Amino acid sequence: MRFQIFDDFLSLVFPKTCCLCQRSLFDFEDQLCKICISKLPITNYHLRPNNNDLVVKMMGLTRPHLVMAFLRFTKRGDSQKIMHQLKYRNRPAIGVELGRIYGNLLKQTGFQENWDQITPVPLHPLKKRRRGYNQSEQFALGLSEAMNIPVRLSLKRIQFTETQTRKSRMERIENVSNVFVLEENQILEDQRVLLVDDVMTTGATLSTCANVLLDAGPKLVDMVVIAAGKS
Ligand SMILES: [Zn+2]
């Protein structure tokens, strides 16, 4: 209660603004205004989750089942602006809100019964401490809230990788090949896992994580990212 009053006071002095258009938000809005939400570059991957370019990209790297992206990633587009705010501007709640919006869409499409757990791609603990949160985990929390499926942190990142952006596709795949392991005491047999990440470009990180999970014998590993674009 005390925190609520403090929050209300803060928002009176510093109104919350939409992370895309910077307009002040109404109290029923979270991180994005309703207008910006209606203009999000939403993909239709959920309509063809097992037969699309993301599935094709994953073939040869892992055993893809369903692969979907919420937003279309375009340079200098709204999705890039949102990802920038989420990753570098200390706005973890954006990830939760995007997860909630996408989770509701997936629920309406009947996906709620498809998975037993949602597992985010982990950050290295040092990087998570520096940023204060893992953006993929925030997205997972929103998906979890909307679809009522638990989040399980089944993966651990054991190596700190340098930035991937200047590397070729093959270099990226090699660069992440020994980076992830299963967390201790994870039982994945017969589980249907939804693996989630923020952005998918080459698919190197996502497929490496999927392979670590698949080695533990789950029924399936599906993949969902906030945004996907051309590599
Ligand atoms: Zn807006």
Instruction: Note the pLDDT of residue 159.
Output: 80
How close is the Cα of 164 to the center of ligand 1, in Å? 30
How close is the Cα of 65 to the center of ligand 1, in Å? 35
How close is the Cα of 40 to the center of ligand 1, in Å? 10
Percent of the chain with pLDDT over 90: 80
How close is the Cα of 11 to the center of ligand 1, in Å? 17
How close is the Cα of 107 to the center of ligand 1, in Å? 25
Alpha helix (H) residue ranges in the chain: 2-13, 34-38, 53-58, 78-88, 92-108, 125-131, 135-147, 169-175, 204-215
How close is the Cα of 33 to the center of ligand 1, in Å? 4
Both tokens of residue 35?
């207008």
How close is the Cα of 138 to the center of ligand 1, in Å? 20
Instruction: Note the pLDDT of residue 60.
Output: 92
Instruction: Note the pLDDT of residue 2.
Output: 59
Q: Judge whether 46 and 222 are in contact, CB under 8 Å.
A: no
Q: Hunting for tokens 């200098």 — which residue is that?
A: 76
* Tens-digit pLDDT profile for residues 121-170: 999 999 999 999 999 999 999 999 999 999 999 999 998 776 656 667 76
How close is the Cα of 25 to the center of ligand 1, in Å? 8
- Mean pLDDT, rounded, of the chain: 91
60, 146, 56: which is closest to 103 by C-alpha? Answer: 146
How close is the Cα of 156 to the center of ligand 1, in Å? 35
- Tell me: pLDDT of 218 over 80: yes
How close is the Cα of 39 to the center of ligand 1, in Å? 9
Contacts of 112 (CB under 8 A, 6+ apart): 106, 147, 148, 149
Instruction: Note the pLDDT of residue 176.
Output: 73
Both tokens of residue 231?
């590599």
* Tens-digit pLDDT profile for residues 56-106: 999 999 999 999 999 999 888 999 999 999 999 999 999 999 999 999 999
Dihedral class, residue 16 (left if φ above 0, else alpha if ψ from -120 to 50, else beta) = beta
Q: Which residues surround ligand 1, an ion (CB under 5 A)?
A: 18, 20-21, 33, 36
How close is the Cα of 19 to the center of ligand 1, in Å? 7
